[in-house]
Each structure stands twice: as structure tokens, then as C-alpha cells.
Amino acid sequence: MFGYDELKVALSFSPVYLVAAVIVFIIFTFFSYKYTVPSVSNPFRIFLVAIRSLSFIIIIMVVFEPVLTLAKKSILTPHTLIFLDNSFSIHSKEDSIRKIQYSDVINSLEGLNQENEYSFFTFGDSVKTLQPDSLNRLQLDENRTNFSEIFSSINESERNISSVVILSDGVITDGSNPVFAAEKIGIPVFTIGVGDTSQKMM
């Protein structure tokens, strides 16, 4: 009704008492104006009865403290946020595997169903929205890698977030340690690491 799924009125007392009180006051008002001095016409008498009855009803409603509840349901589709590292470290010449792995993962993301189920972002100096058709056009030119910016943006989101995916080489060069922030949001966070994790001999 009126675009709402639920419309409910709650009273501090039983509705039976409200109906009874309204009837009693209307009858009382009617007999109060049945005989007047001086006598008045019937239309004016009806007007006086209506005005006084309305005043009594307003007073009664204040006493019963009615509360109107309007409820509207909306279905929020579960949404996955995917954050892609756009920092310069992905281009590292010391780790040739990193760029290859990164490109392979990006290519696999293009096959995702992107109808309101996934949103893409880049992060580095800050978090920026990324259109799905721009996945293969990342500049990888940001000087910093700030993971804390990711979780700040998640806290500000109004979507029904089901999970978070982070693609990065894991090199944090700015901001606080993201572990505590990841635990605090209460949303599953999946990380995809790229690069050679083996230790190199000096």
C-alpha cells in the first residue's frame, strides 16, 4: 500500500479502548448540542458537533500515543569488490614473473559475469573506480601501495558486499598494517599474490 510493504499503527493501549472512548465522546458531544440556548440551525449544530468531536479525538490520540510504522523491503544483490594493485612495483625488473602473473589474472577476470555482481577498483596512492572494459589498460604507475585505503572505501560503501578480492604483489609502502582493518569489517577478504616468493641469494 502506497509503495510500502508494511503499514502498521501501534498504540500504547488496546484499540478497543480507543474505539470505545471515541464513541462515548461523539455521543456526549451530540447530546451536548441537541438542545442549545439560543437555538441554532441543524447544519450549524452538525458543524459544532463535528468540530468538538474532532477536538476530543485529537486529545484521545495524544493519550494513546499512536506510532505509525512504514516498512519497505529492498533486495540487495550480493556484491564482490575486486581491488587491483596499480603501483609501479608490479613492473619490477627484478621479478619478471610478477608482470606475467598479473596479466594472466587480469585476463581471467574479464570472463566474470559483470552484471551488478562485481565492481572493480585500482589502488595505490588512493582507491579509484575501474570500468570492466579497462582491465587491460592499467597504467601501473602509482608510487605508493596503501592497503588501508581499500578498507576505508569498503566502510563507506552502501552495497551488500559479500566478499573482497585483492590482487597485489603484497608490497606495502604506505599506510597502516591492513590485517586488523580486514578483520574488523567482518567480510571475507581473499588475496591473490603475484610475483616470485622464493628467496634470492645475495
Give the C-alpha distances (Å, rounded to integers) separating 196 from 53, 190, 191. Answer: 84, 19, 15
Pick from 136, 140, 135: which is nearest to 125 by CA?
A: 140
Q: Coil, strand or helix: which one is 160? A: coil
Residues 71-99: tens digit of each pLDDT: 887 777 888 999 999 888 777 655 567 77
pTM: 0.60
Pick from 194, 145, 143: which is nearest to 173 by CA?
A: 145
Residues 47-69: tens digit of each pLDDT: 888 888 888 888 888 888 888 88
